[in-house]
Amino acid sequence: MAAPPRTASPTLPTLPGRYYHEPAIYAAEQERIFSRAWVCAGHTSQVAAPGDFRTVDVGDENVLIVRGRDGELRAFLNVCRHRGARLCPAAGHAGGALRCRYHAWSYDLDGRLIGVPNMAGTDFDRSAFGLIPVYLAVWHGLIFVNVDEEEPESLARLAHAELLQRFGEAETLARYHLADLRIASTIEYDVRGNWKLAVENFMECYHCGPMHPELCVLLPGFRGGAAYQQGVGTTLAEGVEAFTLTGKASRPPLPDITADDARRYYGLVLLPNVFLNLLPDHAVLHTLWPQGPDRTRIVCDWLFHPDAIARPDFDPRDAVELFDIVNRQDWEVCELAQASMRSRAYRAGGVFVPLEAHIRRFNEYVLDKLGHANI
Ligand code: FES
Ligand SMILES: [Fe+2]
């Protein structure tokens, strides 16, 4: 009997192994992706009151995000203009001014240099030594900063385009009122893997059957490897009330979501460093912080409605436990993949099967930003 005719290969190539371990490629990504893109720096509630601040590392810069007396969020390079000391620690409350520990120069919360000891009677021009501003935008309660010196493309426009492409309709996200939610739990993970492995892993569900038994009980559609459908989400199993280990709900659904939303999980990626997960009664925000070619700090925040948090019996553990298990399963396989990136077996890379084909678009995004030929 004649063999059936061969068809074109249904697979697509991944990036070659060197993209996941070479310092020069990592440095280029830091310069051409993280130092030019809008990078998510947390939730507005983490810098809620005037004088509250937090800092994040973006590319080569440490960025200070501070809420002014006028209620506005602003971002600056966290560098004292005198002799360059790092101005503020990781997070805290500054009171009325930002004061450098070294020689006590002080800056208003809006970045103006207001205090310079022992310089009275000189013609030193303080106005030339304010903090260097960084572009900041707030989108659905999430803070984004962009350390590019050139004015970047509008975040709203980019995010909208991204949403339409990967999420179906921006209105879906709006119904979750992310800005109104509050973080009730945070876990930081130190993952021995390149940041792109975490993105690629989040974008596919081919691994869900073998790796996430608990998740597949709640979302049986994931067992077959289908990634969430654009704009449709993935439906909870019959009899499952909520995205918890027991499948039981211990909080009401978020106030404005539809009955349909209350039966679904939506996941979305905002490149380069955000995974956003929408569940019936909470949201889970992952932010990725590359630490080196083979290491990524991943911060996972669980957000709930303030009314739910205010209840005396509020306990987020049923939600946290579930996604913490899923996270650890994910990071484990990212680390397994990272372990082989230097092998000659992966020098030319691997393949994406059809269920993973959409990840190739992420690889093309990286290649495009790096100015590398599409390989
Ligand atoms: S370095 Fe900040 S005051 Fe001197
Ligand atoms: Fe996963």
pLDDT over 90, % of the chain: 80
C-alpha to C-alpha distance for 295 and 290, rounded to whole angstroms? 6
Instruction: Using CB atoms within 10 Å of the CB of residue 3, give its burial: 0 to 12 exposed, 13 to 18 middle, 19+ buried.
Output: exposed
**130: which 2 tokens?**
């304010």
The number of beta carbons lying within 10 Å of the beta carbon of residue 351 is: 11
Q: How many residues in total does the chain contain?
A: 375
Q: According to the model, what pLDDT value does residue 137 have?
A: 94
For 102-139, write each residue's pLDDT tens digit.
999 999 999 999 999 999 889 999 999 999 999 999 99
Distance, CA 85 to ligand 2 centroid (Å)?
A: 41
- Pick from 214, 229, 221, 224: which is nearest to 328 by CA? 214
Single out the residue of 76, 96, 97 nearest to residue 86, CA to CA.
76
Taking each helix axis from N to C terminus, what angle separates 195-203 and 359-370, rounded to the nearest 10 degrees?
150
Q: Can you tell me the mean pLDDT for 73-84?
A: 98
Q: Residue 284 forms beta bridges with which residues?
A: 277, 302
* Mean predicted lDDT score pLDDT of the chain: 92
> Cα separation of 13 and 41, whole Å?
32
Distance of CA 81 from the midpoint of ligand 1 (Å): 7
Which mutation among 64, 88, 99, 103 tests ligand 1's pocket best, with the greatest number of atoms within 8 A of CB? 103
Tell me how far CA of residue 118 lies from CA of 100, 105, 121, 122, in angstroms.
Answer: 15, 10, 9, 9
**Residue from 130, 139, 143 nearest 66 by CA:** 143
119 or 374, higher pLDDT: 119
Q: For ligand 1, is residue 173 a contact (CB within 6 Å)?
A: no
Q: How far is it between the farthest Cα atoms of the chain?
A: 99
Q: What is the pLDDT of residue 164?
A: 47
The finding on whether 139 has its CB within 6 A of some atom of ligand 1 is: no
Question: Considering only 18-27, 60-69, 244-253, which range has the smallest mean pLDDT?
Answer: 244-253
Residues with Cβ within 8 Å of residue 213, at least 6 apart in sequence: none
What confidence score (pLDDT) does residue 31 get?
97
Q: Which region among 74-78, 130-134, 164-168 has the lowest average model confidence (pLDDT)?
A: 164-168
In this structure, what token pair is assigned to residue 255? 């106030």
CA of 116 to the centre of ligand 1 (A): 9
What's the distance, CA 60 to chain centroid? 18
Please list, residue by residue across 105-121, b when 16 or more beta carbons sit within 10 angstroms of its beta carbon and e when fewer do.
Answer: bbbbbbbebbebeeeee
**Mean per-residue pLDDT for 25-40?**
96
Q: For residue 202, what is the enclosing H or E element? A: helix 195-203
Task: Report yes or no: 336 and 346 within 8 Å, Cβ to Cβ.
Answer: no
Q: Whose CA is nearest to atom 3 of ligand 1?
A: 103
Give the span between the Cα atoms of 308 and 335, in whole angstroms: 36
Question: How many whole angstroms from 183 Cα to the centroid of ligand 1?
Answer: 34
Query: Could you give the CA distance from residue 176 to residue 171 in angstroms, rounded to a whole number?
Result: 9
pLDDT, one tens digit per residue, over 1-32 is 455 566 667 899 999 999 999 999 999 999 99
Which atom of ligand 1 lies nearest, measured to the CA of 84? Answer: 1
Compute φ and ψ for 202, nearest 5 degrees.
-65, -30
Q: Which atom of ligand 1 is nearest to the CA of 80?
A: 2
**For position 163, what pLDDT does the model report?**
53
Cα–Cα distance between 98 and 138 in angstroms, integer? 22
Q: Read off the tokens for 21.
A: 């371990």
Per-residue model confidence as pLDDT tens digits over 263-297: 999 888 888 999 999 999 999 999 999 999 999 99
Q: Tell me, using a 6 A CB cutoff, whether residue 361 lines ligand 1.
A: no
Residues less than 5 Å from ion ligand 2, measured at CB: 330
pLDDT of residue 264: 92
